[in-house]
Amino acid sequence: MAISTIWRKRWLDSLLLVVDLLWLVIIYLASELAIWGLSRALAMAGLEFFASILGMLLVFSSMTVAGRLCRSYDKFYNEQIRSNVINFINAHLGVGFAIPIVMMNRNDGLDGGQIARILGTFVLTNVVSWTAVFLLPLLVLTGIRTLQSWAAWHSPAFPRQPNQATVALCYGIRSSRLGSDSWPTSPETDESLYPSQPTSLETEPAGTRSRESPTWNVFAANCPSLLALCGIFALGLPVALGTKDERLLDGLVMLFIWITAVRLQRAFRDSSLLRFTTQVKGVLATLANPVLATTLLMVAYTRGKAAAIRGRSLSQVLATFSSGTPLYALWTSSITRIPISGNPSGWFGAGDAALSLLECGILTWGFKLYECRSQLFTLAGVLTVVFSVAAAAGNVFLSVMVGRAIGLDGPKALAFAARCTTLALARPAIHSVGGNAMVNATLVVGNGILGQLMYPFVLDKLGVRPAPRSESDRGVSSSETLVEMENSAQPSRDKMEEILWQEDDGQGDGALTVAAGVAIGVNGAAMGVSYLYETKSRAAPYAALSMTIFGVMTVVFTTVDPFKSFVMRVASS
């Protein structure tokens, strides 16, 4: 390849990267503006904290209607938005999960006895919650599936023509041939459930760079980390020393740590190191979790910064890093000229920027729900809502009871009322009942990190794996299988049961997949949903739906009487 052609390709790749970054900025600003507008609309009822969740549901609804009215909308979304931006945001919103742990101050420390009781409550509630929330959907859906299979087999009409609408509704089988009343799924939407090629915002596979020089390949693969590292010394430090404003420095350090952690984990996972012992390699790759690495290194950075700068306490360093004020609240304050309680100067630090990306990511999950809408418009989707409401009630009331029984005082026991609710909703829930916010933040992030360490092993053992690429590649859908059955004169019972009971093979979502999604959405919250989407798991949409309903109902049970009064009585007993 000629040198001019190589450099032309490099410039083109760089230009495409800039375009993708512009799309990212547009999506981020549009999401934040939407959250701001929704927060103003909800302010009259004092429900501003629901803005990101409501935004996710509105995005999902509007995208579904648009896709229904305009068939070409799917193609535009998949080519211009999904692969380049939405997946990128989902892959990197995890940087916000580290902030609550980083913001912990030694003044918030607990003695040994309190820590032991909190750990005991944490372990007990997790064991009970994970087990119950997984087994309940599994048993109910398995029972329904058994009854439907029995009824279908014994129906007089079964040998002639199976009821396609019933099959699709009860078992989540995706079909675009069930009639005008069904929700069609385009090939592009089906494709979104399967592993896709890396986008221009990600590292290209080695095979596509075979004609490039090794030096350029290394530079291209590590360009984001190198740019962040150079930015620390070229921009961050000079600005901090010259203006005493350390936000740019903090942001570049956090960006460098996060991107490097993500790259190292991916590189190790794809490398030939320890290939002879896949189990050990899997354990090490899981322990190299970017959220965990970013949390530990940012804790070390802030503590080291406080120790290195004379006259600066850790509290001052943390206050510079994050004020804990959402971006929409700062915009509202600047327009209304009403100072924010606890942050009258309207400070917005690097940690606040990371949390705003998390809010943006939750809203953009509406796009991910749209991609998997055919899974949600089923009986499994409806039951996911029911299971999530039941899980929220059980968690709010029973977790507080367990905490009190183990010996926690009222505020610390109340922290468990929202022990696994997403951060945006946990704050108002805990504030309403007077729980310990620091303990709650630790529980939320601790649950998320623990889940991310366990998902690769547990999901693999359960058999809940990403949807196979081969099914999409050969263009075979479950609707075609059903049509083949319909055209067959005498479909066999084995063939019918194979379709009804199929699990995670592209033909439908079984009880195991739905149960795993509900359990992860309830207990793993945003970190769990992010992991499932990143790994292209078919359990992801159920996890996103259960996380949303569980979080909303947790706030309801902790802010609305008579539920609020009952929880507070339990904590004071």
What is the per-residue DSSP string for 109-150?
A: ---HHHHHHHHHHHHHHHHHHHHHHHHHHHHHHHHHHHHHHH
- Report which of 549, 546, 504 is spatially closest to residue 524, judged by C-alpha positions: 546
- CB-CB contact of 262 with 228 (8 Å): no
Domain match, 167 and 223 both:
no
Judge whether 211 lies within some domain. no
pLDDT at 92 (0 to 100) = 78
Among residues 322, 340, 357, which one ends one of the domains?
A: 357
CA–CA separation, 68 and 187 (whole Å): 14
pLDDT at 248 (0 to 100) = 94
Domain match, 363 and 292 both:
no
CA–CA separation, 530 and 534 (whole Å): 6
Judge whether 209 lies within some domain. no
Judge whether 499 lies within some domain. yes
- CB-CB contact of 369 with 545 (8 Å): yes
Judge whether 127 lies within some domain. yes
Domain match, 310 and 373 both:
no
> Tokens standing for 155?
């129906």
Domain match, 296 and 179 both:
no
Domain match, 518 and 369 both:
yes
pLDDT at 107 (0 to 100) = 54
> Tokens standing for 389?
């409401």
- Report which of 198, 225, 222, 220 is spatially closest to residue 210, judged by C-alpha positions: 220
Type of residue at 433? V
Q: Domain of 523?
A: 3-202+358-572
Judge whether 533 lies within some domain. yes
pLDDT at 347 (0 to 100) = 92
CA–CA separation, 530 and 224 (whole Å): 21
Question: What DSSP element (H or E) covers 329?
Answer: helix 327-336
pLDDT at 466 (0 to 100) = 63
pLDDT at 496 (0 to 100) = 43
Judge whether 208 lies within some domain. no
- CB-CB contact of 88 with 75 (8 Å): no
Domain match, 54 and 155 both:
yes
Domain match, 66 and 148 both:
yes
Mean pLDDT per block of 10 residues along the chain (573 residues) reads 72 75 82 91 82 86 86 76 67 80 70 84 92 92 84 62 43 37 37 40 46 68 84 93 92 92 83 74 75 90 90 88 90 90 89 88 81 80 92 92 90 90 81 86 83 83 64 36 39 44 48 91 85 83 88 88 89 83
CA–CA separation, 25 and 21 (whole Å): 6
Domain match, 286 and 373 both:
no
Place of tokens 């979790």: 289
* Claim: this prediction has a pTM higher than 0.95: no
Among residues 342, 357, 372, which one ends one of the domains?
A: 357
Please give the tally of structural domains in the chain: 2
Q: How far is CA 376 from CA 211, 299, 329, 430, 544, in A?
A: 44, 39, 33, 30, 10
CA–CA separation, 8 and 3 (whole Å): 8
Domain match, 341 and 406 both:
no
Among residues 357, 385, 402, which one ends one of the domains?
A: 357
> Tokens standing for 398?
């029973």
Domain match, 50 and 154 both:
yes
Domain match, 431 and 460 both:
yes
Judge whether 516 lies within some domain. yes
C-alpha torsion 221→224→227→232, nearest 10? -130
- CB-CB contact of 380 with 388 (8 Å): no
Domain match, 287 and 379 both:
no
Q: What is the 3-state secondary structure (H, E, C) of 148-160?
A: HHHHHHHCCCCCC
Judge whether 563 lies within some domain. yes
